[in-house]
Amino acid sequence: MRTISIDISERLEELLTQFHHTDTLATNRPIFIVRDRLDHCEECDADCDGERCIEHIDKSFHFSLNEARKYLEYQGHNLSDPYVFGHSPGYANEGDFIPFYDLLKSIAEKLERR
Q: How confident is the prediction along the chain (114 residues), in pLDDT tens digits per residue?
A: 565 555 555 565 555 555 555 555 456 778 888 888 876 666 666 666 656 667 788 999 988 888 899 999 999 999 988 988 888 777 777 788 888 888 988 888 888 787
Q: Are 31 and 104 in contact (CB under 8 A)?
A: no
Closest to 57 (Cα-Cα) out of 19, 29, 25, 83: 83
Contacts of 21 (CB under 8 A, 6+ apart): 35, 83, 84, 85, 86
Type and span of the H or E element at 112: helix 97-113
Give the pLDDT confidence score for residue 59 in this predicted structure.
92
Model confidence pTM above 0.75: no
Bridge partners, 57 (sequence order): 36
